[in-house]
Structure 1
Amino acid sequence: MVKCTIEKLLKDGLNMIEKRDYNNPFLDVQLILSHLINKDRIYLHMNKDEEVKSDVSKKYYDMVERRNIGYPLQYMINSQEFMGLDFFVQEGVLIPRSDTEILVEKIINLVNNTELRNKTINILDIGTGSGAIALSLGYFLKNSLVTAIDISDIAIETAKINADKLGLSNVLIKKSDVFGDVKNAKSNEKYDIVVSNPPYIEKSVIENLQTEVSKYEPKLALDGGVDGLDYYRRIVEVYGFIHSDKSILSVEIGYNQKKEVLKIFEDAGIFSFIESDKDLSGNDRVVTGYLGM
């Protein structure tokens, strides 16, 4: 009987996974095996001849098969790195993307380079999902009090798990609906910074996205309505009655939505200055409006 060594499992896995536009079979099989034996990828390379237990081997082959049909690796290993932090993710929440780091870095730089750095700042993250944005801001901005809201029970559960993982006490996570509950609290809560990576995919486009997204990631976190702009309109409306005297609204956008989102911001008539930022690929990624600053 052939031994199931680390080397054999990695080779078998590579033969099983079909290369597609949105995957990296070599990295995928390493991460799956690393997860199962609780070792890092360097360990795999240094211990190729180590035999792996049969029950672990079976789980490995099962996971590789699932990955081959497009099931997201992050859901299988319950992990995704974001802003240098390790976030727990599970099916039912959007997997954090590196593009969203542009939004987080934008806010961190704004706070550290303005008068906001000298005060306690109230931040609202609308549609927090795994909590990646809210918790990263709470982690890197020690002078912040962050409220993270989502309508999804799974998102709230996931974000709370991540808050506990990171040991953050300055982030409040609660279930709330941007199309309802937030508006009802307009007289009680004011925020210096409002951020969001809202659903912004056009409804008709979702089914044409890569399998990892269209089949397995939550439609609730993707569907931005017929034109993809429903949440931007609502977020700008909500911001109009929850902002502090000097405040910022910053949102992630789709690569082709800059013109439309800028117009939504401009039509609100409340911002003294509006700007956009590109991601590392050169695509428009963030729109930010400033009020009283």
Structure 2
Amino acid sequence: MTLRELLNIGTDLLKKQGNEDAVTESELLLCHLLNKDRIYLYAYAREPADEDLCQTFFDLLQRRAGGTPLQYILGTVEFMGIPLTVNESVLIPRQDTELLAEEALKELSKLTRLLRHHQILDLCTGSGALAISIAKLDRKARVTAADLSEEALEVARKNAAVAGVTDTIHFCQGDLFEALDGQGPFDLILSNPPYIATDVIDTLAVGIRDHEPRMALDGGTDGLDLIRRILEEAPRHMKPGGLLLMEIGYDQGNVVRALALSQKNPFIRARILRDLNGNDRVLKARKAR
């Protein structure tokens, strides 16, 4: 069997499972095993595929057909142009979350040039995608990255090492702000917290429901448990005029903005940023100076 024939079998198998990206995913899985780029598959399409390669490829196809996310099988994903390792201990970074990172970088660029460092907190860091991208792309960044899961922090630390930003990120384990051990106050707090309502999780695609960490998804009865806590506790850890950027659910904008501007939360401005599909995506809230 040639590589082309093997690839065609893989594509057909994934198509039968309703995979709309069957061609691309089949190519990526085979490239992963060969440790080659996709051009290689076309240049050497008539090369023979040995029995071990075929069997391992079919094993990966079965995992993918069974719902395991492609990113977990490949063990990697790109975020803001930075390659990150991922496994089932961490949520898979989404392109939508790049809106949060881009807005953070834009706001950091506006800070006074007199500041030697930008003090940043990333809550629920997971794979470290936000913390690492900010540390990599803002030369003044000094980031504290917190997560409740020690397994997630292990992944984030490895990603930071590969990205070359271990000197500018301090990782700490704990429940939201309880993880802090003296850091702060912060110019900017980032978070992509769990925000899916508990009873909605079982209705999600199998790749999310059965493979991504429930801790990173479950936001309680209405999806707002951690969002409320962050809004209530964040101001105590922010500098005057500090900024909170937090990812939210596609339909949570109005209620989250109202929570941010409620009397017990001292934010003077709050607005909702929408993603490319027009969905609510990021809360941007400013603390009074």
Coarse TM-score class (shorter-chain normalised): over 0.9
Aligned residues: 287
Amino acid at match of 1:173: F
Cα distance per residue 1:64-120 (max 9 Å; x no partner): 011001111111110111111111001121000000000000000111134278541
Flag the 1:248–1:224 CA change in 2: closer, same or farther, 3 A.
same
Once the 2 structures are TM-superposed, how far is the Cα of residue 137 of structure 1 from its aligned partner?
0.6
The residue correspondences of 1:186-265 to structure 2 (distance < 5 A) are 189-265=184-260
Amino acid at match of 1:207: D
Is structure 2 residue 81 aligned with structure 1 residue 84?
A: yes
Overall identity of the aligned pairs, in %: 37
Match of 1:276 in 2: 272
- Kept in 2, the 8 Å contact 1:201–1:222? The answer is yes
Give the structure-1-normalised TM-score: 0.93
Once the 2 structures are TM-superposed, how far is the Cα of residue 151 of structure 1 from its aligned partner?
0.9
Cα distance per residue 1:197-239 (max 9 Å; x no partner): 0000000000000011011111000000000000111111221
- Kept in 2, the 8 Å contact 1:232–1:264? The answer is no
Match of 1:28 in 2: 25
Q: Secondary structure at the match of 2:170?
A: strand
- Kept in 2, the 8 Å contact 1:19–1:25? The answer is no
Unaligned runs of 5+ in 1: none
Amino acid at match of 1:287: L
Q: Distance in 2 between the 1:79 and 1:281 partners? A: 25
Decide which moves more: 51-60 or 205-214.
51-60
Amino acid at match of 1:166: A
Q: Distance in 1 between the 2:244 and 2:55 partners? A: 49
Flag the 1:20–1:13 CA change in 2: closer, same or farther, 3 A.
closer
Once the 2 structures are TM-superposed, how far is the Cα of residue 181 of structure 1 from its aligned partner?
3.8
Unaligned runs of 5+ in 2: none
Once the 2 structures are TM-superposed, how far is the Cα of residue 53 of structure 1 from its aligned partner?
3.0
Amino acid at match of 1:170: T
Q: Distance in 1 between the 2:19 and 2:100 partners? A: 23
Once the 2 structures are TM-superposed, how far is the Cα of residue 8 of structure 1 from its aligned partner?
1.2
Q: Distance in 2 between the 1:287 and 1:136 partners? A: 19
- Kept in 1, the 8 Å contact 2:246–2:283? The answer is yes
- Kept in 2, the 8 Å contact 1:206–1:223? The answer is yes
Decide which moves more: 47-56 or 247-256.
47-56
Decide which moves more: 261-270 or 35-44.
261-270
The residue correspondences of 1:1-293 to structure 2 (distance < 5 A) are 3=1, 5-18=2-15, 24-115=21-112, 118-168=115-165, 169-178=167-176, 180-182=178-180, 185=181, 189-267=184-262, 268-292=264-288
Once the 2 structures are TM-superposed, how far is the Cα of residue 21 of structure 1 from its aligned partner?
6.8
Amino acid at match of 2:198: K
Amino acid at match of 2:63: R
Q: Distance in 2 between the 1:212 and 1:201 partners? A: 15
Q: CA RMSD in A?
A: 1.8
Q: Secondary structure at the match of 2:136?
A: helix
- Kept in 2, the 8 Å contact 1:125–1:194? The answer is yes
Give the structure-2-normalised TM-score: 0.94
Flag the 1:32–1:93 CA change in 2: closer, same or farther, 3 A.
same
- Kept in 1, the 8 Å contact 2:259–2:265? The answer is no
Decide which moves more: 61-70 or 19-28.
19-28
Amino acid at match of 2:119: N
Flag the 1:7–1:276 CA change in 2: closer, same or farther, 3 A.
same
